Structure formats: structure tokens, C-alpha cells
Amino acid sequence: MSTVDVTVRGAGVFGLSIAYACLRRGARVRVVDPHGVGFGASGGVVGALAPHTPENWNEKKAFQFESLLMAEAFWRDVDATSGGASGYERTGRLQPIADERGLDLARARAEEAKTLWQGKATWEVVPSAAATGWAPGSPTDYLIHDTLSARVHPKRAVESLAAAVLTLGGTLTTEAEDAGQVVWAAGYRGLEDLSRQFGKSVGTGVKGQALVVDYPADAAPQIFAEGLHIVPHADRTVAIGSTSEREFADPDATDDQIDDLHARAIAAMPVLEGRTVLLSWAGVRPRAKSRAPMLGAYPDRPGHFIANGGFKIGFGMAPKVAQIMADLVLEGRDAIPEGFRVEANL
């Protein structure tokens, strides 16, 4: 590529999604990552795209809602372009309800969802008996069922994105000079670099461990129970995650916390007992100080931008993040919510 309009530093889900959106608008794009595609948290295994609760509505919840609605068309287009398989499917989610207070709260949220979710998805309280075969036990015999939650296979999704970037004429490389507009989407290491530069913490990395077991739940809803996401995938596996570790010595190592995850998943879903553990995974997720994505112009660096901090919700936020960052980088249109701005973390 002799001339580059946009350089994206980082080949995780934010960086690749932004590159893809810019290419779709005709820009010439180069993605640079010394570690390769999906090296960090974006190369994970869980892939739960789950909404915030439909109450106390704010800009973060509204942004995520819009992005989750965009996701089906986004991943369908990515896969059609690349010939890959992101594993996206809007399968919904089931959650047990622990007690009468929780039941009252869930019913109130169901009413809120009728307005906040605009008829495009539902949040309902259903009897446990209505969910047969694949459902968590519930002390109240009721479950929350939402139809907005979806799944994606993280590693395969970023591979599909990378292939789509190449198909559209973009380039992927491990090293290159800055050229054109520059987007920094460098994950938790990028947050650490920013913290050193600004002399204050703007974010950090939070390690997560997860595992994959052999179980053919196919397109069954994901489960959120015992503080865990239990996500069936199309390859007849179930992913379980994850831990949240603020302190860690080795970002890529798994340990006995995996055994605890497995035991808690079996307690929530006894059908998983005796199933073979196929894979254990560990990675570090970028958490901005504001807990929202950190988006916008890079302070004191004209022509440079930041897109980071997709902690736990990066894949769910990616379609909308890609759209508004392409607007900003290519057209100068700034539609970033106030709570997402770089300045909110400084």
C-alpha cells in the first residue's frame, strides 16, 4: 500500500472493526500489531454479548443497546466479505432469580424494557418449567429471559475481521511507521502506556481465565448464573468464564481458579458434569478508569485518536465504536458520548 489514509495500531476487536469500517468507506488502511491478530483479550473463548439491565437508562446503556442491535448485520457483512465464520447468533440469555425481592425487581425491569428496548427485544420473567433441557436451577422457579443477548466466537470473529480487512484491500503488519490518521487501539498495554505518558492512571488490565467444555447445546440461550457466563457455541462446545484478577504475575497462565470456574458452572448447570474440558484460556482485558470505552482524539497529538477500554463488553460495543470512530477519523464528525471521551479518564 503506497499511500495510507489510516493507520490502526492494534489488531484486537476495536482496532480491526475500526479498520473495517474505514475500508468500507473507501479509506486506505493499514493495521499494525507486533503480536498479530487477536493476541490479547480479543482472542478469547467466551463471547457473551449481553446487555445491561433495562433500568436507570444512561448513555452507556443506550450506546450498548444500539450496538447490540447493529451486531447481526455487522457480523453477517464481515463474514460475507471474508468467507469466515464469526460464530455470531442472537440466541438470548437465561438467568435464575434468587428470591422474592429479585423476582419483583426482574418484573419491574421487564416493564422498563418494553419502553427502553423499543420493541426490538424483550426482557421477561418466565417459569423455569418453560425452559426445558438447558436451563439453570432457580430458587424461585422463575428465570429472566432476554432476547437481546447474543454470542460470538471471539478468536474466530477477529480472524474473520482480519480476513475481511485484507479482502477490502487493507494490510496487516507487525511493524510500520505512522501514516495518515492514526488510531491507537492497543489494549491494556496501550492503557499502561497512556498512564505513563499522562502521569496518572487512565486504566489498567484485568486478567480473566475461562474454559471450554465439550457439550452440544448448539443454539441454546447463554446462561448467566453463579456470576458466570455459560455460552453455547455453534461448534458443539460451551465456553465458561471468567475470573476478574486485578493482580497477576503471568497474564497468559491458567491456574487452579479454572477448577473453581468449572465447579461453579456444574453447580449452575449439572448437565455439564463429566464433560471433557477442551481448552483453558487466560488473557488480560483493558479496563479504562471510567469503565466505559475510551474514545476520541489523542490529547496533544493532532491526527491521532484513541479507541480502548472495551473491558468485558468490547465485542458487544465494537459495531457502534467502529461507526463513530470512522465518523471522527474520516469525516471529523464527533458523536462520542460524554462519558466515553478520553477526557473522562484524565
Counting residues of the chain whose pLDDT is more than 70, the rounded percentage is: 99
In one letter, which amino acid is 89? E
Mean pLDDT over 190-206 rounds to 95
- pLDDT (mean) for 154-166: 98
pLDDT digits (tens, 9 = 90+) for 69-97: 999 999 999 999 999 999 999 999 999 99
Of 257, 232, 262, 235, whose CA–CA distance to 245 is shortest? 257
Average pLDDT over residues 234-251: 96
Mean pLDDT for the chain? Answer: 96
Question: Crossing angle of helices 314-331/59-82, nearest 10°?
Answer: 90
Neighbours of 129 (CB within 10 A): 10
Spell out the domain ranges in the chain. Answer: 6-90+149-200+289-345
Pick the CATH number of 6-90+149-200+289-345 from 3.90.1300.10, 3.40.50.280, 3.50.50.60, 3.30.365.10: 3.50.50.60
With residue 23 as reference, give the H or E element that holds it. Answer: helix 13-24
3-state helix, strand, coil in the chain (%, to 5): 35, 25, 40
How would residue 131 be classed by pLDDT, with cut points 50, 70 and 90? Answer: confident
Give the burial string for 135-166 (b: 16+ CB within 10 Å, else e): bbebebebbbbbbbbbbbbbbbbbbbbbbbbe
Model confidence, pTM: 0.96
Residue 212 near residue 258, CB atoms below 8 Å: no
C-alpha cell at 275: 464433560
Helices assigned H by DSSP within 199-313: 257-268
